[in-house]
């Protein structure tokens, strides 16, 4: 039997040269007359070690990294196919501390399997959730999801089971399952990793959702910035259709579910669910008024489940092992696990799936290894461009929806971006307003006009013009945006702006003591 060698096809790994490494390994093996089986797996999520090359051995998979194409000949010389010693050898992959301490439920297979191999998926417990769901009533499937305590992982944290139940109980001739894969938040990439590294788990989750509520058509709305995810999803969908896991009469059950990927076109606001639905209908991505809720009048006016990638990808394990299994992870009202994404100025950026309750400090230092530049971490932004900035004094906060809400912060989609002490927080506040101005859909005035005025006001504060009055104006404007915007884009832009002002007043030309209100 030929030796299995794993080189990720994940786009972050490719961005660091994984394709060239894979080619170098294939060429070197051919040159030396060695037969290998090269598997293009997903990434394990340890991006400072990419390109991470693994070799299957009787004792388990041995990792080498970070590997560059020019290291490949040396690896062969060191007999890495038999786990030979080399400067880049990291030992057993599962023993790497960053990975060992994680609780991977949703990401159980990512980095381990060949993402587009159905046989591999099934051999690693795939499609067990669907098989169980096919024997349950729709109401029982929804109950499992409700019992799991799963809340929407896209950012709003709305209980998934309640959403599903509304769609289940709304009669209609056609219902839809829509996956929000418009992962636009800076500092987030877990959706991408799932779609590139284990697309079947998303397909399975959507199929279960369709069977639960009687929806026969699903759409994955994928951002245009993810060409590799598009490729992996389409490959996996084709395989699922060919093997009767999608289409009419799924696995002989008489149930139907069709699935199609649709590409977005670079509009951040289309991550907002109603704007996304407009876009899927072929229109400008303008936010809709709610009510009606999408669960009642969603895509093409029909009852629609619209969930984030991670929410849907968490459904198969919930159906396989039961709602209680999933609910036993976590703290308070935040149940299960969160795939956390470490980004920005950190030594060890990557994906950490942990039960809720892990603290920011553990993530930044134990997992992240501190800042990449070696300077002190001054601020972190959690939850994307609409998330608050947290100062060092709040790093002991556990990751929990309610604990973050108490600090006037959000977990969002679980992205954590670290900044060292060279960051200028007034500039970050300005950027938050600027980003809102660029991405506003234009429907509501607080967001459309407020963001542009916000940039101007921050500019005046930075220039010192009429300073006290403009600080007050920025607070008033933020208040209007917070309370008057139609959706989270205008409504949450004040989070980064005001948290920067409140926690880092010195960057806005204020004394530290002037930060009241």
Binding site residues, other proteins, CB under 8 A: 11-12, 14-16, 45, 47, 50, 183-189, 191-192, 224-228, 262-268, 279-285, 300, 341-345, 349-351, 372, 381, 385, 415, 417-420, 423, 428, 431, 435, 438-439, 441
Minimum Å distance from CB 261 to other proteins? 10
Minimum Å distance from CB 286 to other proteins? 8
* Under 8 Å between Cβ of 386 and 496: yes
Q: Which is nearer to other proteins, 343 or 488 (CB)?
A: 343
Q: Which is nearer to other proteins, 66 or 149 (CB)?
A: 66
* Under 8 Å between Cβ of 183 and 189: yes
CB atoms within 10 A of CB 320: 20
Q: Which is nearer to other proteins, 16 or 167 (CB)?
A: 16
Q: Which is nearer to other proteins, 191 or 272 (CB)?
A: 191
Q: Which is nearer to other proteins, 323 or 383 (CB)?
A: 383
Residue 418 and residue 57: Cα distance in Å, rounded? 37
Which residues, in sequence order, are bridge partners of residue 217?
176, 258
Q: Which is nearer to other proteins, 263 or 448 (CB)?
A: 263
Minimum Å distance from CB 473 to other proteins? 24
Minimum Å distance from CB 44 to other proteins? 12
Residues 6+ apart with CB under 8 A from 201: 106, 109, 121, 126, 194, 313, 316
Helix 190-197 vs helix 227-242: angle between axes, to the nearest 10 degrees?
A: 40
Residues 6+ apart with CB under 8 A from 26: 36, 38
Q: Which is nearer to other proteins, 12 or 274 (CB)?
A: 12
Helices (H), 255-328: 273-280, 309-321, 323-327
Minimum Å distance from CB 432 to other proteins? 9
CB atoms within 10 A of CB 18: 24
Minimum Å distance from CB 468 to other proteins? 28
Q: Sheet of 304-308: strands edge to edge?
A: 258-263, 217-222, 176-181, 304-308
Minimum Å distance from CB 259 to other proteins? 14
Q: Which is nearer to other proteins, 25 or 46 (CB)?
A: 46
Minimum Å distance from CB 343 to other proteins? 4
Quick one: how far is CA 208 from the chain centroid?
Answer: 20
Which two tokens mark 513? 């003591």
Cα–Cα distances (Å) from 161 to 149, 152, 295, 315, in that order, read: 8, 9, 12, 10
Q: Which is nearer to other proteins, 330 or 494 (CB)?
A: 494
Residue 437 and residue 49: Cα distance in Å, rounded? 37
Minimum Å distance from CB 383 to other proteins? 11
Q: Which is nearer to other proteins, 75 or 386 (CB)?
A: 386
Cα–Cα distances (Å) from 455 to 381, 451, 458, 460, 493, in that order, read: 19, 6, 5, 9, 12
Residue 408 and residue 289: Cα distance in Å, rounded? 25
Minimum Å distance from CB 186 to other proteins? 3
């Amino acid at each position: 039997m030929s030796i299995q060698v794993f080189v990720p096809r994940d786009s972050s790994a490719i961005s660091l040269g994984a394709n060239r490494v894979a080619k170098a390994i294939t060429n070197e093996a051919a040159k030396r007359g060695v037969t290998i089986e090269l598997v293009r797996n997903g990434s394990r999520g340890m991006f400072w070690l990419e390109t991470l090359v693994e070799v299957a051995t009787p004792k388990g998979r041995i990792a080498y990294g970070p590997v560059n194409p020019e290291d490949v000949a040396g690896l062969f010389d060191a007999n890495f196919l038999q786990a030979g010693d080399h400067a880049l050898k990291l030992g057993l992959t599962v023993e790497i501390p960053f990975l060992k301490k994680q609780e991977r439920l949703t990401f159980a297979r990512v980095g381990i399997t060949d993402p587009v191999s159905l046989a591999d998926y099934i051999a690693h417990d795939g499609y067990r959730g669907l098989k169980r769901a096919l024997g349950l009533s729709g109401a029982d499937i929804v109950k499992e999801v409700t019992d799991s305590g799963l809340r929407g992982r896209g950012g709003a944290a709305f209980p998934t089971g309640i959403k599903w139940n509304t769609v289940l109980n709304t009669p209609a001739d056609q219902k839809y399952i829509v996956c929000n894969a418009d992962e636009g938040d800076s500092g987030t990439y877990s959706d991408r990793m799932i779609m590139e590294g284990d697309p079947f788990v998303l397909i399975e989750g959507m199929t279960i959702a369709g069977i639960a509520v009687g929806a026969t058509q699903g759409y994955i709305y994928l951002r245009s910035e993810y060409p590799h995810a598009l490729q992996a999803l389409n490959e996996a969908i084709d395989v699922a259709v060919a093997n009767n896991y999608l289409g009419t009469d799924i696995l002989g059950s008489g149930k139907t579910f069709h699935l199609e990927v649709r590409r977005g076109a670079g509009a951040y606001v289309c991550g907002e669910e109603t704007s996304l639905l407009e876009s899927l209908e072929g229109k400008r991505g303008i936010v809709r008024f709610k009510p009606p809720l999408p669960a009642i009048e969603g895509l093409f006016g029909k009852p629609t489940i619209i969930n984030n990638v991670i929410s849907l990808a968490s459904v198969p394990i919930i159906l396989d092992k039961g709602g209680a299994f999933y609910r036993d992870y976590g703290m308070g009202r935040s149940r299960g696990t969160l795939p956390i994404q470490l980004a920005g100025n950190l030594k060890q950026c990557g994906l950490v799936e942990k039960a809720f309750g892990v603290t920011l400090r553990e993530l930044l230092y134990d997992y992240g290894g501190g800042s990449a530049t070696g300077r002190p971490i001054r601020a972190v932004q959690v939850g994307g461009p609409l998330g608050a900035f947290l100062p060092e004094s709040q790093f002991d906060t556990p990751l929990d929806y309610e604990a973050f809400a108490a600090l006037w912060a959000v977990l969002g989609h679980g992205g954590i971006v670290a900044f060292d002490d060279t960051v200028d927080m007034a500039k970050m506040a300005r950027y938050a307003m600027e980003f809102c101005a660029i991405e506003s859909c234009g429907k509501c005035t607080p967001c459309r006009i407020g963001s542009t005025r916000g940039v101007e006001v921050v500019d005046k504060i930075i220039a010192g013009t009429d300073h006290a009055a403009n600080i007050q104006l920025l607070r008033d404007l933020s208040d209007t945006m917070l309370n008057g915007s139609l959706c989270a884009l205008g409504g949450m832009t004040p989070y980064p702006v005001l948290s920067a002002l409140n926690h880092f007043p010195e960057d806005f030309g204020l004394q530290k003591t002037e930060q009241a209100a």
